[in-house]
Structure 1
């Protein structure tokens, strides 16, 4: 500009310049600059609406669109950058437009405010990036499914309270994580439906007296509809908070998977070995191999949860409509996006390359009297009330502990001594009822749990096929345009 004064999008009623302290507190361009492509996209749509309203001639529109395209190119190449004097992304871009168009550039501000601009830009940014996030989740899901398919028949200790409980298929446990991640994708997709409302055209809070067309802008920008209430449109940050909840929930699920991998890779478990490419060593202990990706993923969940809490706390006391507090909405959102896009590829790579110690898993599957429930259910099939069956097997566990034996070490006489229900010739048994020896088999225990959702290898393979279809459909959505 001719007078070289910093460009401000306000100030007509002010006689003096803002203090340095206010300027430093107000500036946001250092983090909201990443919204520049979305602001320019919305500016093109707004320019076309101004033209249809008779507020720009065809020549002015053509010049405006060429200047916006040139500014977009300059922003992407780094030729045009914000300066320390630019308050925010909107100020920087208007400066760039004025440099290219002179006073014509100032016409673009008609009928819109930074209030509806920023609400629109942030929605556009998130709706774009949520598809990238889902693509990365799909990669992690696929890595887990591939491992599960290889280990549908691999017995493993199933745990509750981190204590051996019942034998399971290791593939079944891996797929449990896929189901959690699939719910996360469902939440993001459901979020996208609610986020597909366009605030542009709401102005500062009351709409505009100019003959604009919010529905046309919404359609051009890929939204389903314009905002039905201009006050709610500029004040609403539900979409940001809900996105952060979805991100935090995904972070929690990634953290739970990370925690299990840390355990599985430990000397105490030795169920898996993490590939060298996804582990680090110690600066003092030469033998160490640390599952850092899993640990970092576990730690990053705290950032995601913190971002959600930060925004909710900011929002909880705000009156309608726009308040400057809402400047605090962007950094938590940006941090959540960046965190997920760092963590997810690393987790997918680690899972895809980890080596499973099948011999160790199978050997430890029956440990801790893990077949106790199978014995109790055998007695139920023999007509014993479960309460009595539960107590009888509990006594059998105590007998084994006192005598330092496992179930398979017991003689028929010892079994019958603990409870007559265990006798091989127990009276009145239905034909075909298995013996105690028949159920003291890990693979038999797995095969027996063949009900829908169970851990039987055949059911696990069915899950693999069903989840592949779900994940393929998720990938197609992620690759679609918003």
Structure 2
């Protein structure tokens, strides 16, 4: 068992204890970040005269060789080491000798692991944000194609008012736009460098923390060494943001599942994003949408796990904090996979426009407009509401839509109705006369789409 801290101990750690304590089985994915951080640290040590230039060159060359060998499959990360940090240091010392033992000068594993996790998380935030960008483009493309595709809007899962598919998709654009902005906020807030914090109280070596931070692309060093090694707020923020992303994906998935049902038939899923039944040959199941919906709970669990781990930890570093990695890695992997697959499903989905429009026409979604028509004729809204309620009951009894009623039938319920009622309750009229910002009318939607296209051009 290779350990960095064995000098204090007179006997070997029990194997079960060692296995329980070790983290290399999951923190080995931090190898690139660990090596990047070590190279920056060594360059800073040489700049400050703590290491010679000759030692710096040997160490940097050795670290770059280890990185290249791991990535090309020539070097396997061995679980005989406690963690990725001890593995890299041990292999470096095996390869270059005495200079490798100087790698850890002026730092602790506490600030080293804090740096590695921050570098990893920062990289992942960027990758997740790029996936969100692709999802937003997919939604925006649907919006541009469907400003005139009429469908029912729902409240309480009941048909409420007619809208367009572009309008419906715009609601999800807004959700994922906020998710992008949360990623941007997380990146900005987490971008300080903990390296140089030491175990918790800094170090007596004359480190240049600003230089190290600059080499690693941070805005500057953390300003409190205790917080530097024990901060996991950025990770909690990311998991909370991913939980919100997954909640949005799950809501979207639920609608696609409903729309794909035999009763709705609003959409046709591409074969590549569907599966069949082992015994029922007619089935085409929305498995990707269902799995995205299901995996949302997994990401929620990761957030609760980390919040629970952190809630009772006194300053500064405690071993509990090793429990940040597995749930975070799993949540990040899960969210990335879900965003990517959902985007692919959305790009290949086919919308049954006729079915959507027919559903809007036969669900009394124009009832509110009939009431507004009466208000325009001088009828108080509360009275108008009651009159239209009678119209709906009449239509239900006859099995017809409001559009199907004759003028005589209208006038039997209220003499206020005139021939212009048909234009007033036309589905097209109901949608397109709603032109306030954020409404489903074609003119309003085209203005919003223009705003969204500009937003995507400036996406950062």
TM-score normalised to structure 1 length? 0.93
After TM superposition, list the pairs within 5 Å mapping 1:275-294 onto structure 2. 275-294=270-289
Structure 2 Cα separation of the partners of residues 155 and 48 of structure 1: 62
Give the alignment partner of residue 452 of structure 2, picking from 461, 467, 475.
467
Runs (4+) of structure 1 moved beyond 6 Å?
Answer: none
Give the equivalent residue in structure 2 for 1:258: 253
Give the alignment partner of residue 158 of structure 2, picking from 160, 163, 170.
163
Give the equivalent residue in structure 1 for 2:427: 442
Give the alignment partner of residue 129 of structure 2, picking from 129, 134, 142.
134
Give the alignment partner of residue 392 of structure 1, picking from 387, 401, 404.
387
Contact 1:166 1:366 in 2 (8 A): no
Give the equivalent residue in structure 1 for 2:200: 205
Give the alignment partner of residue 423 of structure 1, picking from 394, 409, 417.
417
**Alignment length (residue pairs):** 460
After TM superposition, list the pairs within 5 Å mapping 1:40-439 onto structure 2. 40-420=35-415, 422-424=416-418, 435-439=420-424
Extract unaligned runs of 5+ from structure 1: 1-5, 425-433, 478-482
Contact 2:374 2:417 in 1 (8 A): no
SS at match of 2:13: coil
Query: Residue deviations 1:386-418, cap 9 Å, x none?
Result: 222222222222233234332123233332332
Contact 1:157 1:367 in 2 (8 A): no
Structure 1 residue 458, shift from structure 2 partner: 2.1
Structure 1 residue 452, shift from structure 2 partner: 0.6
Give the equivalent residue in structure 1 for 2:30: 35
Structure 1 Cα separation of the partners of residues 442 and 288 of structure 2: 30
Contact 1:164 1:367 in 2 (8 A): no
Greater RCO, CA 8 A, separation 6+: 1
404-413 or 84-93: bigger deviation? 404-413
Give the equivalent residue in structure 2 for 1:8: 3
Structure 1 residue 35, shift from structure 2 partner: 0.5
Structure 1 residue 7, shift from structure 2 partner: 2.4
Contact 2:114 2:229 in 1 (8 A): yes
Structure 1 residue 129, shift from structure 2 partner: 1.5
241-250 or 167-176: bigger deviation? 167-176
Contact 1:278 1:291 in 2 (8 A): yes
Structure 2 Cα separation of the partners of residues 101 and 385 of structure 1: 89
The verdict on how the C-alpha distance between 1:221 and 1:411 changes in structure 2, with shifts beyond 3 A counting, is same
Query: Residue deviations 1:410-460, cap 9 Å, x none?
Result: 23333233234x332xxxxxxxxx932221210111111111100012222
Give the equivalent residue in structure 1 for 2:18: 23
339-348 or 313-322: bigger deviation? 339-348
Structure 1 residue 122, shift from structure 2 partner: 0.8
Structure 1 Cα separation of the partners of residues 348 and 448 of structure 2: 22
Structure 2 Cα separation of the partners of residues 238 and 347 of structure 1: 28
RMSD over aligned CA atoms reads 1.4
Structure 1 residue 232, shift from structure 2 partner: 0.7
Structure 1 residue 143, shift from structure 2 partner: 1.4
SS at match of 1:168: strand
Structure 1 Cα separation of the partners of residues 153 and 63 of structure 2: 59
SS at match of 1:12: helix
Give the equivalent residue in structure 1 for 2:442: 457
Extract unaligned runs of 5+ from structure 2: none
Give the equivalent residue in structure 2 for 1:431: none
Structure 2 Cα separation of the partners of residues 267 and 139 of structure 1: 30
Query: Residue deviations 1:77-106, cap 9 Å, x none?
Result: 222222232001101111111111222111
